[in-house]
Amino acid sequence: MSDDGESTASLAASLFAEVIISEQMARALVTRALPKGMQLSHFSVLNLLAHLNEERTPAQLAEAFHVNRSAMTNTISRLEWAGHVHVRPDWDDARRKWVGISPSGRKARDAALAAFMPRLTEVVRDIGPAEVRRALPILRRLRERLEEEA
């Protein structure tokens, strides 16, 4: 059975509508559960730094999140002001800085996870873990393909 261009375009439109709406709803669910004053971008940076457990430059963080450097600099500044990250100079290259998560940042990240993970777990339970496991490889391939376009 062959696909014609119109049915493939319709399938693409339906797929991206579902992905975009799901992304918006997931952001809203997580954002509502974040501790007061924390934004999703703040949590995302803290989560990555906690997961990696090593410092990153602002440029590396900007690239990881597909944002420009000024947006990442703003996020890092807010996290530093809140005491959630430490920013230090690069001793080998004075033009570069390194960003690492602080103990306060790790606590804030853990508190945020504790606030929204029960709801995400409930969503997965309602859909069914087996269904989610089947969807993950497809979603991962979609993300990887879109990263090639970025």
pLDDT at 145 over 80: yes
pLDDT tens across 31-86, in order? Answer: 998 988 899 999 999 999 999 999 999 999 999 999 999 999 999 999 999 999 99
pLDDT at 2 over 60: no
Is residue 61 a contact partner of residue 138, using CB atoms and an 8 Å limit?
Answer: no
Average predicted confidence (pLDDT) for the chain: 93
Instruction: Give the largest CA-CA distance in the chain.
Output: 61
Gyration radius of the chain over CA positions: 19
What is the identity of the amino acid at 39?
Answer: Q
